[in-house]
Amino acid sequence: MSVQRPPAAQAALPPEIAFLRGQGVDGRLLVRAAAAAAAAGTDAATALLNGGLMSEGAYYRALARALGAPYLDGPIAFGLGLTFPGSLITGLAPLALGSVAPCVLAPRGRAITDLLDGAHRSTMPAITSPTRLREAVFAAIPGQVADYAAHELRRRSPDRATAREPAVWWLLLLALALAAALCLCAVLPAPLVRAMALAGQCLFLGMTTLRLAALAIPAPVSAEEAPVAPLADADLPVFTVLVPLHREAAVVPHLLTALAALDYPAAKLDIKLLLEADDADTASVLAGIPLPARFEVVTVPPGAPRTKPRALNAALPLARGALLTVYDAEDIPNPGQLRLAAALFARLPGSTACLQGRLVIDNADDSRLARAFV
């Protein structure tokens, strides 16, 4: 009679997923998550959830059972001190007096291991998932979220914000300048007026000639064509992808297919799909598609101005990545684009803040103007 010993990988599961073995979770899934985490250089809980091996809700319910803590899944009654984005960045929010615990916690990564090790057993908080906490905070203080998205940049860096003057003042200034120019032309000698007009036409002709000449200049070799040494999965940073959507229900399936095809470790992807509160059609399509935890659907509270930058501002403080990119709903990114960007940032000076991806135009045969963008 022979006795089989458990595989070494299964016997040495990381603590953030090892407790799931005692709650009936398939050990093979846990071994896969541990292997993915080791390869990507991240924690096994993130690898498990981002890889779609277990739903976020099921994991955090199991974590609450293992800790002997209450799990909050419905509406959450918050107490004083709830803030945006602070409460979501820390994953900790106060609960109202008389609740099952003083606060609610949505732990990630190392914080999960600390909880399981008993680091906070004396003041055990209630547990919820990060998605449920974010939804509850947005529902509890929508005005604060909307205000942050619309005005925080102006408060913190007014020099980087748009001008406060309404457009009507700029239009009035332009009208006054044109009136002054006409008055000046009326009083100046005719030869001088003709010379000024000729100079303006020459300037315009020179600008047009420069733009036409630019069409004949061959495109430079892009980073995608130049050889770049790739980074190992363990060396890749977490990458946040923000995708603002508005009335984009028709393209959602194609968008998700393109994002799922990204050649990047799932454990290191943080993809946020940003919706407006009144976009029920797009929300309905997304609700019908099961998504792993690396995809997060964020509904931005109503506010003004309702623009793409405002939606991005609402999600930006929640980004977990060291690198960040923004895609439009119609974009079909090259699967290797994020790896290439990470490799380029790693070898470029630390002062490099942004890389411009080269657009691939798919309607170049439509017209000469379309071909000019290729």
Q: Where are the domains of the chain?
A: 8-140, 233-371
Q: Are 93 and 82 in contact (CB under 8 A)?
A: yes
pLDDT at 3: 42
pLDDT at 192: 85
Report how far residue 218's alpha carbon sits from residue 228's, in angstroms, rounded to the nearest whole number. Answer: 22
By the 10 Å C-beta count (0-12 exposed, 13-18 middle, 19+ buried), 52 is classed as: middle
pLDDT at 139: 96
Tokens of 6: 């458990």
Q: Are 364 and 371 in contact (CB under 8 A)?
A: yes
Number of neighbouring beta carbons within 10 Å of residue 144? 16
Q: Are 215 and 372 in contact (CB under 8 A)?
A: yes
pLDDT at 222: 55
CATH 3.40.190.10 fits 233-371, yes or no: no
pLDDT < 70 stretches in the chain:
1-11, 119-122, 162-166, 219-226, 364, 368-374
Report how far residue 7's alpha carbon sits from residue 137's, in angstroms, rounded to the nearest whole number. Answer: 43
Q: Which helix (H) or strand (E) holds 61?
A: helix 56-67
Beta strand 92-94 with 269-276 is unpaired
Tokens of 366: 């439509």
pLDDT at 119: 52
Q: What is the DSSP letter of 341?
A: H
pLDDT at 372: 66
Report how far residue 58's alpha carbon sits from residue 41's, in angstroms, rounded to the nearest whole number. Answer: 24
Q: Any idea which residue has 């929640």 for tokens?
A: 318
pLDDT at 220: 62
Number of neighbouring beta carbons within 10 Å of residue 67? 22
Report how far residue 68's alpha carbon sits from residue 165's, in angstroms, rounded to the nearest whole number. Answer: 56
| φ, ψ for residue 102, nearest 5 deg | -65, -30
pLDDT at 368: 66
Report how far residue 26's alpha carbon sits from residue 119's, in angstroms, rounded to the nearest whole number. Answer: 27
CA distances from 160 to 26, 152, 324 (A): 51, 11, 19
Q: Any idea which residue has 């964020």 for tokens?
A: 298
